[in-house]
Structure 1
């Protein structure tokens, strides 16, 4: 793992393969190992950069993280690595960070793969109450283990390993604080990209696990409606389709990546 300092804290990342860059961005409480089932196939044709957000995985503990801070850290990572026209594959809060990069620095983004993504839910009193509930201390302490299994909807041994890692992290004081801080940060007005989404110009593939109770399919359909010329594909999984159904996920993503490379070279 490599590390770099960002304004949101230390960020660790794995850098494998060679070729056009693909950046993998994980969800709250998770880490870059979520993507292990798809990295070998991606790295056969691409440089794959798999991030551990500040406060997560191999990065230093940081219980004061925010979603907007992650998006800022991604900008800093892209600049430090001098990535031009990479494809960004983001899950949940990772999808939000990728989409905001595409809005603020479109020259850096050759394509977006948004997977059960955050950032495309219109904020309201109801959504604010929802985020405050999930970020509350009692939920973080008592409901979290059941919640991780519920939104993952495990279908494979790798899903079980993902759940075990997330629960183990969430059982620590730092993990609970990190999880809660991120949920509360989803109420930041900057996390709502619905008004700006029509400005996204990068080719966008949206892949949604239809069994996700945290971000139901209707939000995938909303993102698809808001982002011009986007594609929406639905898989019968929970929140992590690349873990639960890696081959089906790759069957969608690899052609998209090849088309993105061809578009950059034309």
Structure 2
């Protein structure tokens, strides 16, 4: 059993009246805690426990459900901007005045907005499977991707098809990661995300992707060091958006992980955790 698999779920009541479900593990060494922002339809249990354990070596790591997601109360919000202010409310509830952020997919959009709205709150930023707001051809996902992961009932086959490559290696890695994620924690699992969450989050994703070249200029306002990471065969957020994002940010490094899809950070969890540790400690 991993540390994250055994971690207790806590509740934090924020000033906005929302009770946020979260998990808190690792060691408080005085460095800013690393706060994770989850992907489309994901809850606390959709993080790979092996990755979280790797990230928590020598550092405090916090995962949480935004409003209306999983066991957090309220209704899921419909824009990335609202989700960012929502995440700030959670951080305020924990009395955190300085954090590092790791945003994955939709969570990476939220991380960008937090850094723009509250720059004094954010130290370093990791953007995994990310894209800038207004980028061309980002207005919604391709029909095969939304069919795989956007149905009323999520399917394991669709998850594997998007998060991992269809090669023998990719399928094997996907099965191992899925075992850790979906079978590792057998008691006190988080509440499944609802259809309302799916609809609201996809509204946020499509609005983020409305073509608007002027929105790209906003990235100049993120002056913190950023680590941009992605999979070379990600069908959901194509690798070219990682390159675009890294090129627009004033202080960014980039790494594209080979033979991997949207879930590259789960497939390459040891390498990715080491890369994040190196970046945060730089």
- Would the TM-score normalized by the shorter structure come out above 0.5? yes
CA distance in structure 1 between the aligned counterparts of 2:207 and 2:77, rounded to whole angstroms: 14
Change (3 A) 1:197 1:88: same
CA distance in structure 2 between the aligned counterparts of 1:139 and 1:242, rounded to whole angstroms: 21
SS at match of 1:207: strand
CA distance in structure 2 between the aligned counterparts of 1:222 and 1:111, rounded to whole angstroms: 19
Partner of 1:263: none
Change (3 A) 1:140 1:177: farther
State the superposition RMSD in angstroms.
3.3
CA distance in structure 2 between the aligned counterparts of 1:131 and 1:180, rounded to whole angstroms: 16
Is 1:258 aligned with 2:270? no
Is 1:209 aligned with 2:234? no
* Contact 1:64–1:181, Cα closer than 8 Å, also in 2: yes
Q: CA deviation at 1:229?
A: 1.9
Change (3 A) 1:129 1:48: closer
Change (3 A) 1:143 1:109: closer
CA distance in structure 2 between the aligned counterparts of 1:41 and 1:160, rounded to whole angstroms: 17
1:119-134 alignment to 2 at 5 Å? 120-122=132-134, 127-128=138-139, 130=141
CA distance in structure 2 between the aligned counterparts of 1:180 and 1:158, rounded to whole angstroms: 26
Deviates further, 189-198 or 70-79 = 189-198
SS at match of 2:216: coil
Partner of 1:57: 70
Partner of 2:220: 198
Partner of 1:232: 254
CA distance in structure 2 between the aligned counterparts of 1:235 and 1:163, rounded to whole angstroms: 23
CA distance in structure 2 between the aligned counterparts of 1:39 and 1:175, rounded to whole angstroms: 24
Stretches of structure 1 lacking an aligned partner (at least 5 in a row): 166-171, 260-266
Q: How big is each residue's C-alpha offset from its partner over 1:66-108, in whole Å with a ceiling of 9 and x where there is no partner?
A: 4333211111122222223311001011111111111111111
Stretches of structure 2 lacking an aligned partner (at least 5 in a row): 1-8, 165-170, 185-191
CA distance in structure 2 between the aligned counterparts of 1:10 and 1:132, rounded to whole angstroms: 35
* Contact 1:8–1:70, Cα closer than 8 Å, also in 2: no
Scaled by the length of structure 2, what TM-score is found?
A: 0.75
Partner of 1:264: none
